[in-house]
Structure 1
Amino acid sequence: MQERPLRRAASPPPRRWSGELVRHSRLNSEHFPEPTRNIRNIIRQYQQPTRLSEPLRKEGGKVFVKKMDPHEEAMMILKRQMAVAPPPPSLMPKETVAMVKPVTKRPPRVTLAPSRSPVRVAMPVIVSRDLPAQEEQIQTQLHRRFSEEFYTYCNVPWKIYIRKEVFYPKDNFNHPLLLDLIFRQIFNDTLSDTCVRISPEERQRMRSLFAANKLDSFSPVADESVKKEIVRMARDSWEVYFSRLFPATGSVGTGVQILAVSHTGIKLLRLIKGTNMPGEQLRVLRTYSYADVLFVTMPSRNMLEFNLISEKLILFSPKAAQVKAMIDYFITEIKKDSQYVVAVKNHVAMDSSQLSFHKGDIVHLQPLEHPKKDYYYGYVVRKKLMYLEELKRGTPDFGWKFGAIHGRSGLFPMDYVQPVAAPDFVHLPADKKEEPKNKRGKVAASAAVAAAVASTAMARELDRKGEDTPTGSDSADKAAEASGELPRDGALPAGPSTMMDFARKYFRGAQKPTSDSFKQKSKKGRDVPGMAEKLKFTKSPIQESLIEFTDSSMSKMAVEAFQAVMKFMGDHPLKGQTELDIVCVILKMCGDHEALRDEVYCQVIRQVTGNASSKTDSSQKGWRLLYILTAYYKCSEVFRPHLLSFLQEVCSSPGLHFQGIAKACEQNLKKTFQCGGRTRFPSSMELKAMVAGRSAKRQLFLLPGGIEKHLKIKTCSVALDAVEELCDEMGLHRPEAFDEYIIFVVSSRGQNVRPLSRREYILDVATEMERVDPNYTFWCRRVIWMQPLKFDNELYVTAHYNQVLPDYLKGLFNVFPPVKPSDQQLQQIAKLAALQHRAKDSLYLPTVREAQDYIPPQFCRMQHIQSWFNMVMQHMQQVQALSAHQARAQFLGLVSAFPMFGSSFFYIQSCSNTTIASPCILAVNQNGLNFLNKETHELMVMFSLKEVQSARTQQPSAGSSYPYVELTLGDVMSQSVTQLQLDQGLELCRVIATHMESLLFAREKRLTLPPSEITLL
């Protein structure tokens, strides 16, 4: 084979050197020793590590080392070419390694010995031409760049191409150079008929797009928007083009020859003969999305087992390891932001609160805002305390998840499902060449669907499809919409957030499919024609939803919801229905279909804007309906700033009516985002009051001792609001004090006591209890005694005295030794009896019977009653000068020194722990769980709060009780379950949880203090 001609490539002109020119040295040629015929030396040379910096070029065939110096050989070839003389026949074999080492500018001077003894240098490495069976391992060296002249081959029969093979998760093509390279790749492959990755139909559609944009082989110049359109079309609609192809075979008869892995999933392919053109084409036999793939295993070296939702797929490939690694990476990245799980086995619900599904069903995870009937009630300690009745998305739900499928929702065990990639449920009709976009290039229609289902993450992901790098203001607007959070001062995020802006983005027909639809708008942002009319009152029912839904059934339900809105406002006949019926219909539709909530909000806002109804109270009823909606359901995070902006605009406009109710709607919405929203439909009495403009009622609350307090309860008042108001009357204003009190609802003449969550709505509980026991009462009681006692507020002292006194008279604060107490203890008991009598503010001295009632029975039996009476009368002379308030304060001060003061006591009927003798008394305080002897009240077993990992019981139906509580005790490594039988299971769980919250809060506060303050502690 003749030597390939060498071409001298031009480089910048060299600088003049003042010194002597350095000529070619024999040292260069001495780096290439003579070939040896000794086989052992050849093997030894092959095994030596690479230590030379000469570049090696690897090709097929055998390798021999040149005898001639490469520089001299190159110069000789150039001279022959200039003389147009045929090159002499080469004595070298077909494949050689061309080693060309340029001469540096200032090589070191080397003096050679006369004997010309060879210099000791490392032997060159002979590169093997045998490739491994699986994959060719190539290692090269990086050489420094020379600024002088160099030599290269010309007229070679090969070319090197760089291609975009596959799109990885979160890949984009924002960079102009990257976009241009991918565009040119698609352009060249489309015009060529040799690319087997493109089907004839795909090639024809792309050529039509080229023609529409006036692109051909002579003028492949396109602006950035056209390039992005072409790249998106190839990425999203071409089946095989952006895929990595692996050789694969399946079972006999399947015909699988190739496995394609791409950003959309995996495809099974085979080669077929072309129909309209010569050569072969790829045919897709089967497609699986990543939502269908559970996991991939390798039972053997070349075997792949795909565990799919409904089947198993077996393939054989010499690249099995690479296939598995690539698919695992795709699935892992896609699952990170997914809110979906796939069922790995059937689940049959045991009750109405659970969700049934079949293996392979995809379940959408949703937050569980409120407790369900017969579900566990209590708490579990993780990094923070989690209430089981207030499970939230994104937190470990302790073996249970809450989700929805096919319009049904409920709880299900976590071990029945596993995470899966989100299904491609957001799509547009296939006849649209391009999705409608707004002025920032965002995918408006698809994002509207994501907004309607309150999926901010999905909306943000769809917005990324625009592939535009936002400006500073755009980034702020996008971040504000994505987070849905408001600054602490309540101000709206920067950027447009009006209803008109939301309509431009997400309403039906808001965008045009052409890329220059917004070029016709003025710089001032003129509204899309007809969009303003969709935000104004209409007398006629709508025929389709305001927000564009790809699901036609959602649009039909939106039409029904709009008719219900018109009926409630009096603009449409009721047809035998009442206003309560209409409100329940609207609330039920929004509860069953979360995607409708934004739509219904927009419908009500439309009907109260520019209301021109013949009914004088139409607008007022519309605002009343909006008031009810904001109390029950959250809007999506995307719609939230627009809705708040609308309400705040009405509040701040002095010329507009309904400023007061607009402010109430704003407060309701913020409380709904904070507490989850009302759960029970309003009663007829409550609805009549709201329609009449009365949004609050007087509700009776009882403090210990039966002290009555009537509080003003609004539609969205929660238990924490009632606690804060009662504490304010007792002179407590710090949040730490609020956490020590709990609201209880008592029914069935005191037989059933249920503590309320701080975020539980008072009117929801009232509506529920009125159906069970109209004589229910709300009580407020202190359960934690971390804050010091204060005696300046009479209501505070009286309420605490009334709460402590019954436990004292039962002897729960004292330990009763087998021997008679000391005289000092007896005198203290007598003084406490005298203080009790003075606390009644009685004008008379106590009788013997009264004195006996003031002493705990366990102490009263230790000596004769007359002796007790004499001791009490002695102390009465000392306390007679005190007022009733002072007597109560002294009583609290003395009792607070008892060991079990500040405890909540529960009577335990039986216990599964053999170390605890039952029946017994459980005292819960800041030290932990103290199990006391029933008779002597001596401490038998104590568990610190750190050891209590969870407390669970079942929330009973109204009017009933569940007599068991399960306590998980121990640490992370070793835990045991103790089951307690008692009548106040719910109360016990709530009291322990409140203590745990206080402990965790104090620990977190201590860890976040500066080092100096930690030292002080």
Structure 2
Amino acid sequence: MATSPSPSVACVTLPTDSDYTMQEFALLPWARPMPAHPQWPRARPPAQLTVLFILPAALMQFMGDQSKPRGKNDLDLLYGLLKLCQEENLRDEIYCQALKQITGHPRPRLCARGWTFLSLLTGYFPPSTLLMPYVTKFLQHSARSQELARRCQGHLQHTVKYGGRRQLPSPGEMQAFLKGQVVHLLLIHLPGGVEYKTNTHTFTVAAEVLEEMCGQMGITDPHEVQEFALFLIKGEGQLVRPLWPREYLTSEVVGLDVSLHSRRLSWETPLHFDNPTYVSTHYGQVLRDYLQGKLLVSAQEDARLARLAALQHLSRNHEEPPSEQDLLAYLPKQLLCQMNVAAVTSLMGQELWQLRGCSSQEAGQLGRSELPLFGYSVYMVLRVSKPALPGPGLLGLNRQRLILMDPSSQELCCSIALRDLRRLRVLSPLGPEDSPGLELNYGSADNPQTIWFELPQVGGLCALRSTSWPVTQALTAPSRRRILGQRV
């Protein structure tokens, strides 16, 4: 188990031409008929004026300075305040009221309630750029003596870096937050059966967890960290989608039937094998792709199949010779009816003799570059819009290009350089039995090309937006166009 470190935050720097006190902010010319600053508010509509009138009372009721209305508890009041914060035009007023209520408050327990609200406010919604330096200065000054102020300062800087949480917390999360239970245990499933446990907080984002998880695997290069992604899986795979680096985990990982998984999506950084967890997870991911037939080994390649089977046997620390059942488990299932099992069995015995003395970890490292599509993220394509191209086929993607391979002949049928990619759109399925897909527009202005792929794992491919710049630039909103070009 690893404990999440304090989040790395973007610091808010203050110009030196002002003290940026809240007293100075209160003297700004808010009432000028024609504002000299574009962010100074103009006349308020009546509904907002009503809200501004009841806001101080709602905050004092939550803090305990006033009695609560009949039938309302702390949770109701806190939700009401956060819902008001969803109105961007009201956030500065809410910030000012919160800072006013905690400034010089004579009762520490009630003042702490105000800081609790402010810690939520700073983690969800930033103030305007006009008010930001004043709030920052207030928190910096208060942090010298207030632990809660330091927490608010960290939340605000975190919000500046990642944008703040978009969804309000669930009632259960809100109750836990009010009780001070802000740390949550998170379980991430890695390839090869490895489970990674970490502590997250109310405002932890996916990028922070990935950075910490990679650090535990000995990955320190930021470029290599970006080659991993987190996936959210609901139930038995009814919903699989990637989490983007700026997504807040507490908002997404909700429910008993939701699990979090991680895998490597890009393989540009040279591999290193100085960490056992690193070796286990990479071996597990490559092995799964190999056994699913995604790494293109021909049924006629007896020597290669035998060597890869021998390496799997050694990685399991088996000293006795493999049984026929063992051998079948070491081979891609779709090749079993095409290959000479007796020949592979004989060659596997020779490979085991040559590899004697090899440890299980060394066996996990060997053979990685012998697979034809190693280094690509591989997806099964069901259909292609161009009749000359194979379907089903294998779609491989790395940082340089996208390729389509014929799984039977292992021929390269199509190759598109990502620098030539102009637009990429997700194609929604027509019905519950259909699969989603991708529409790619590529080529030059003089010779534009379009191709459609129908593939079930479109979500995993789109996760490469975080690791592949051309795909990031090209991806547009989902389309309802049929995969074979017919409009719906």
3-state DSSP of counterpart to 2:453: strand
Cα distance in 2, alignment partners of residues 488 and 814 from structure 1 = 45
What does residue 6 of structure 2 align with?
A: none
Q: Map Cα deviations across residues 600-656 of structure 1 (whole Å, 9 max, x no partner).
A: 01111111111135xx6321221111111111111100111111111111112xxx3
Q: Give me the CA root mean square deviation.
A: 2.8
Cα distance in 2, alignment partners of residues 878 and 765 from structure 1 = 50
Change (3 A) 1:498 1:955: farther
3-state DSSP of counterpart to 1:745: strand
What does residue 600 of structure 1 align with?
A: 94
For 1:577, which of 59, 72, 88 is the aligned residue? Answer: 72
Unaligned 5+ residue runs, structure 1? 1-486, 512-546, 1001-1017
What does residue 564 of structure 1 align with?
A: 58
- Kindly state the Cα deviation for residue 942 of structure 1 after the two structures are TM-superposed: 1.3
1:459-538, aligned counterparts within 5 Å? 491-494=13-16, 495-505=18-28
Amino acid at match of 1:952: R
3-state DSSP of counterpart to 1:595: helix
Cα distance in 2, alignment partners of residues 552 and 960 from structure 1 = 50
Change (3 A) 1:960 1:993: farther
Cα distance in 1, alignment partners of residues 29 and 72 from structure 2 = 33
- Kindly state the Cα deviation for residue 860 of structure 1 after the two structures are TM-superposed: 4.7
What does residue 736 of structure 1 align with?
A: 223
For 1:625, which of 110, 117, 120 is the aligned residue? Answer: 117
- Kindly state the Cα deviation for residue 548 of structure 1 after the two structures are TM-superposed: 7.8
- Kindly state the Cα deviation for residue 909 of structure 1 after the two structures are TM-superposed: 2.2
- Kindly state the Cα deviation for residue 839 of structure 1 after the two structures are TM-superposed: 0.9
Cα distance in 2, alignment partners of residues 612 and 738 from structure 1 = 48
Asked if 1 retains the 8 angstrom alpha-carbon contact of 2:187 and 2:195, the reply is yes
What does residue 610 of structure 1 align with?
A: 104
Amino acid at match of 2:294: L
For 2:312, which of 821, 836, 848 is the aligned residue? Answer: 836
Amino acid at match of 1:847: S
Cα distance in 2, alignment partners of residues 961 and 550 from structure 1 = 53
Cα distance in 2, alignment partners of residues 673 and 580 from structure 1 = 26
Q: Map Cα deviations across residues 360-396 of structure 1 (whole Å, 9 max, x no partner).
A: xxxxxxxxxxxxxxxxxxxxxxxxxxxxxxxxxxxxx
Q: Map Cα deviations across residues 138-168 of structure 1 (whole Å, 9 max, x no partner).
A: xxxxxxxxxxxxxxxxxxxxxxxxxxxxxxx
3-state DSSP of counterpart to 1:813: coil
Unaligned 5+ residue runs, structure 2? 1-8, 33-39, 474-488
Cα distance in 2, alignment partners of residues 692 and 845 from structure 1 = 58
Change (3 A) 1:681 1:999: closer
- Kindly state the Cα deviation for residue 993 of structure 1 after the two structures are TM-superposed: 5.8
**Is 2:44 the counterpart of 1:551?**
yes
Cα distance in 2, alignment partners of residues 923 and 948 from structure 1 = 15
3-state DSSP of counterpart to 2:139: helix
What does residue 244 of structure 2 align with?
A: 757
Asked if 2 retains the 8 angstrom alpha-carbon contact of 1:950 and 1:967, the reply is yes
Asked if 1 retains the 8 angstrom alpha-carbon contact of 2:424 and 2:471, the reply is no
Cα distance in 1, alignment partners of residues 109 and 42 from structure 2 = 32
3-state DSSP of counterpart to 2:266: coil
Cα distance in 1, alignment partners of residues 41 and 26 from structure 2 = 11
TM value normalised by structure 2 = 0.85
What does residue 167 of structure 2 align with?
A: 680
Cα distance in 2, alignment partners of residues 579 and 980 from structure 1 = 52
What does residue 663 of structure 1 align with?
A: 150
Cα distance in 2, alignment partners of residues 699 and 636 from structure 1 = 33
What does residue 877 of structure 1 align with?
A: 353
What does residue 590 of structure 1 align with?
A: 85
Change (3 A) 1:606 1:972: farther
Amino acid at match of 2:14: L
Cα distance in 1, alignment partners of residues 77 and 447 from structure 2 = 55
**Is 2:272 the counterpart of 1:778?**
no
Cα distance in 1, alignment partners of residues 319 and 62 from structure 2 = 63
What does residue 849 of structure 1 align with?
A: 325
Change (3 A) 1:549 1:631: same
What does residue 943 of structure 1 align with?
A: 416
3-state DSSP of counterpart to 2:192: coil
Asked if 2 retains the 8 angstrom alpha-carbon contact of 1:744 and 1:780, the reply is yes
Which protein has the larger Cα radius of gyration, Structure 1 or Structure 2? 1
**Is 2:142 the counterpart of 1:650?**
yes
Amino acid at match of 2:239: N
Amino acid at match of 2:231: F
Cα distance in 2, alignment partners of residues 843 and 570 from structure 1 = 70
3-state DSSP of counterpart to 2:294: coil
1:354-503, aligned counterparts within 5 Å? 491-494=13-16, 495-503=18-26
Asked if 1 retains the 8 angstrom alpha-carbon contact of 2:226 and 2:466, the reply is no
Cα distance in 1, alignment partners of residues 24 and 434 from structure 2 = 52
Cα distance in 1, alignment partners of residues 80 and 427 from structure 2 = 31
Asked if 1 retains the 8 angstrom alpha-carbon contact of 2:309 and 2:331, the reply is yes
Asked if 2 retains the 8 angstrom alpha-carbon contact of 1:947 and 1:971, the reply is yes
- Kindly state the Cα deviation for residue 777 of structure 1 after the two structures are TM-superposed: 0.8
What does residue 35 of structure 2 align with?
A: none
Change (3 A) 1:561 1:911: farther
Change (3 A) 1:761 1:634: same
Change (3 A) 1:577 1:984: farther
Change (3 A) 1:809 1:559: same
Cα distance in 2, alignment partners of residues 651 and 765 from structure 1 = 31
**Is 2:216 the counterpart of 1:721?**
no
Asked if 2 retains the 8 angstrom alpha-carbon contact of 1:815 and 1:938, the reply is no
- Kindly state the Cα deviation for residue 716 of structure 1 after the two structures are TM-superposed: 1.5
1:54-203, aligned counterparts within 5 Å? none
3-state DSSP of counterpart to 2:117: helix
3-state DSSP of counterpart to 1:617: helix
Change (3 A) 1:571 1:975: farther
Q: Map Cα deviations across residues 782-824 of structure 1 (whole Å, 9 max, x no partner).
A: 111010010110000100000000111233323538xx44xxx
Q: Map Cα deviations across residues 754-794 of structure 1 (whole Å, 9 max, x no partner).
A: 01111111111124xx2xxx211111111110100101100
3-state DSSP of counterpart to 1:505: coil
Give the paired residue count. Answer: 453
Higher relative contact order (CA 8 A, sep 6+): 2
Q: Map Cα deviations across residues 974-993 of structure 1 (whole Å, 9 max, x no partner).
A: 43443332222222222266
Cα distance in 2, alignment partners of residues 953 and 785 from structure 1 = 24
Cα distance in 2, alignment partners of residues 633 and 504 from structure 1 = 24
What does residue 868 of structure 1 align with?
A: 344
Change (3 A) 1:941 1:870: same
What does residue 889 of structure 1 align with?
A: 365
What does residue 525 of structure 1 align with?
A: none
Cα distance in 1, alignment partners of residues 42 and 466 from structure 2 = 44
Q: Map Cα deviations across residues 449-504 of structure 1 (whole Å, 9 max, x no partner).
A: xxxxxxxxxxxxxxxxxxxxxxxxxxxxxxxxxxxxxx987553212212121112
3-state DSSP of counterpart to 2:363: helix
Asked if 1 retains the 8 angstrom alpha-carbon contact of 2:12 and 2:157, the reply is no
3-state DSSP of counterpart to 1:746: strand
3-state DSSP of counterpart to 2:28: helix
- Kindly state the Cα deviation for residue 506 of structure 1 after the two structures are TM-superposed: 5.3
- Kindly state the Cα deviation for residue 934 of structure 1 after the two structures are TM-superposed: 4.3
Cα distance in 1, alignment partners of residues 291 and 425 from structure 2 = 31
Asked if 2 retains the 8 angstrom alpha-carbon contact of 1:923 and 1:930, the reply is yes
Amino acid at match of 2:28: K
**Is 2:132 the counterpart of 1:640?**
yes
Cα distance in 2, alignment partners of residues 563 and 951 from structure 1 = 51
Asked if 1 retains the 8 angstrom alpha-carbon contact of 2:10 and 2:158, the reply is no
For 1:806, which of 288, 294, 305 is the aligned residue? Answer: 288
Cα distance in 2, alignment partners of residues 954 and 583 from structure 1 = 41
